[in-house]
Structure 1
Amino acid sequence: MENEKIINPPSGYATFAMFLILIAASGILIWQGMPIIAVIIFILNFSLVLPGLVIVNPNESKVLTLFGKYTGTVKKDGFFWVNPFTVKKKVSLRAFNLNGQQLKVNDKVGNPIEIAAVIVWRVKDTAAAVFSVENYIQYVNIQSEAAVRHLANSFAYDHFEDEDASVTLRDGAEHVSILLEKELNDRLARAGIEVLEARISHLAYAPEIANAMLQRQQATAIIAARKQIVEGAVGMVEMALDKLSAKNIVELDEERKAAMVSNLLVVLCGERNVAPVVNTGTLYH
């Protein structure tokens, strides 16, 4: 693999001025009756001087090769003159956004999910990007898809599927993004690519199991809510019995305590408002 070599070629303004002078000199020679010399100068001017002029825009670079050999990379923006026989390949140094397509893969426990990622990357080593891979943009696309697939296979979708998991795709977004960025940098280092940021942009169950998983999540949420309601209701009943006993408001035997507890739990745990029945007789009728 070629190592990047930064070069600073001479300014192109002086060379361009010489190019104009040689054109003027060819005209003068023709006027003075020396057309052969004028034509030779004119040809050399357009074949040796002009082809060496190169413009490098901001956040761009020119990778130079001479007869199949890498001679260096111009990263400084400006107007320069280089060897006219070199082949100049433009490589952008700007940051690129890769909005990955939605991939259908299996998570760690085998559930089919849909996942996609947004990746921000740029060329760090121009020599590696040009000479180490056939097409570095295509290389980024393929390796990014492979990294996202591997990430999805390494974690469960959420804790419903793997209760012992410390990190899941849905709840551990920050940690998952760090792992994805690290894996991408490892995969793309061969092509001289640096990943600046990687984030999961889409995460969902596959359509064929989405409804079933939604019902499961709803059921789990309902059970958790009911558990909290029951715990609160039991505490309130216990408090009510303790207050009645401490203040000697009424004496209740075990049977009447059980009935009171049952009625209070119905009132506190019911989903709808309870219509009370007022007893106008004694406590036992």
Structure 2
Amino acid sequence: MVQEKRGFSLNGYIAFVVLLFLQLLFLGMFLKGYVVAGLLGGILNGLCWLGFFMVQPNQAKVMTLFGSYVGSVRDTGLQWTIPLFARRTISLRIRNFESAKIKVNDNQGNPIEIATIVVWSVTDSAEAVFEVDDYESYVSIQSEAALRNMASSYAYDPMDEDVVALRSHPQQIADKLKQEIQERLGRAGVTVHEARISHLAYAPEIASAMLQRQQASAIIAARAKIVEGAVGMVEMALERLKAQNVVELDEERKAVMVSNLLVVLCGDKSAQPVVNSGSLY
């Protein structure tokens, strides 16, 4: 692997003063009659002016000499290096990448649509240039491949409270996705700072059926809660009637009372009262 190393460069302002002084020196030699020395020195000095380049903040200049990597320069401002060095600019700034919505089956076989946002930056300029052909395209393709692999490893909805699912455990899924993408992009000199799911839904062909299943699950959970509360209220009512000696009820009448209370408490609609004008029995 080609890893980043510091390349040769000098402060551009100092190099400017030195080259200007040498240019005047060679010009003086030419005027004083040292034509050959002044001319050759002036030509070589003129070629040295091609060694100036500018480095912006959060940028790196990857330098090569006849196809060989000779180092990278990260020092900002005006810099000077050997003019024969070919220089390529690499941005080290943090970037956002949002993948397209892809369709994949979760580990239950349900087709889902999923997309992600990846925050990344180049941390090794040499690897980004020489280890992959196009590091930006590499980030895009490998991020989608990692997202597809991760999504197929988890269920959309949790089958149990302890089971990690795409919808119920967003932070754990984000950490797993970041780890999976980083493993794929490490060879390209890229560091993943954050990866999160930006879109998650059932595929259109099963969305309505899954919505009905979710609604049914919600209704069942609500009914269970209602029944639990109603049973507690009936139990409390019977205990208070017995404790305060309001009325004595045999087992048959208790069963009727329990049935009526459960109908009132668990019914979807308001109960219609029935006035008993006769005796209790």
Query: In structure 2, what is the equivalent of residue 57 of structure 1?
Result: 56
Equivalent residue pairs, number? 281
Q: How does 1:86-165 map to 2 (within 5 A)?
A: 86-159=85-158, 162-163=159-160
What one-letter code is carried by the residue in structure 1 that aligns with 2:241?
L
Q: Cα gap change, 1:8/1:65 in structure 2, threshold over 3 Å: closer, same or farther?
A: closer
Say whether the 8 Å CA contact 1:157–1:169 is kept in structure 2.
Answer: yes
Say whether the 8 Å CA contact 1:105–1:114 is kept in structure 2.
Answer: yes
2:236 is equivalent to residue 239 of structure 1: yes
Say whether the 8 Å CA contact 2:7–2:63 is kept in structure 1.
Answer: no
Q: How many angstroms does 1:183 deviate by?
A: 1.4
Identify the match of residue 164 of structure 2 among 167, 172, 182.
167
Say whether the 8 Å CA contact 1:8–1:76 is kept in structure 2.
Answer: no
Q: Where does structure 1 lack aligned partners over 5 or more consecutive residues?
A: none
| Aligned-partner SS, 2:133 | coil
Question: Which moved further from structure 2: 124-133 or 33-42?
Answer: 33-42
What one-letter code is carried by the residue in structure 2 that aligns with 1:3?
Q
Q: How many angstroms does 1:172 deviate by?
A: 1.1
What one-letter code is carried by the residue in structure 1 that aligns with 2:212?
Q
TM-score by length of 1: 0.90
Query: In structure 2, what is the equivalent of residue 211 of structure 1?
Result: 208
| Aligned-partner SS, 2:5 | coil
Q: How many angstroms does 1:28 deviate by?
A: 6.7
| Aligned-partner SS, 1:283 | coil
Question: What is the identity percentage for the equivalent residue pairs of Structure 1 and Structure 2?
Answer: 53
| Aligned-partner SS, 2:167 | coil
Say whether the 8 Å CA contact 2:8–2:81 is kept in structure 1.
Answer: no
Q: How many angstroms does 1:37 deviate by?
A: 7.3
TM-score by length of 2: 0.91
Q: How many angstroms does 1:167 deviate by?
A: 0.5
Q: Deviations over 1:169-196 (max 9, x none)?
A: 1111111111111111111111111111
Query: In structure 1, what is the equivalent of residue 10 of structure 2?
Result: 10
Q: How many angstroms does 1:78 deviate by?
A: 2.0
What one-letter code is carried by the residue in structure 2 that aligns with 1:233?
A
CA distance in 1 between counterparts of 2:165 and 2:98 reads 22
Query: In structure 2, what is the equivalent of residue 280 of structure 1?
Result: 277
Query: In structure 2, what is the equivalent of residue 71 of structure 1?
Result: 70
Alignment RMSD (CA, Å) = 2.3
Query: In structure 2, what is the equivalent of residue 252 of structure 1?
Result: 249
What one-letter code is carried by the residue in structure 2 that aligns with 1:246?
A
Q: Deviations over 1:255-285 (max 9, x none)?
A: 322221111111111122222111122113x
Say whether the 8 Å CA contact 2:101–2:113 is kept in structure 1.
Answer: yes
What one-letter code is carried by the residue in structure 1 that aligns with 2:237?
A
Question: Which moved further from structure 2: 265-274 or 29-38?
Answer: 29-38
Q: Deviations over 1:222-281 (max 9, x none)?
A: 111101111111121122122222332222233322221111111111122222111122
CA distance in 2 between counterparts of 1:18 and 1:237 reads 98
Query: In structure 2, what is the equivalent of residue 230 of structure 1?
Result: 227
Q: How does 1:258-269 map to 2 (within 5 A)?
A: 258-269=255-266
CA distance in 1 between counterparts of 2:53 and 2:156 reads 52
Say whether the 8 Å CA contact 1:96–1:120 is kept in structure 2.
Answer: yes
| Aligned-partner SS, 2:10 | coil
Q: How many angstroms does 1:77 deviate by?
A: 0.9
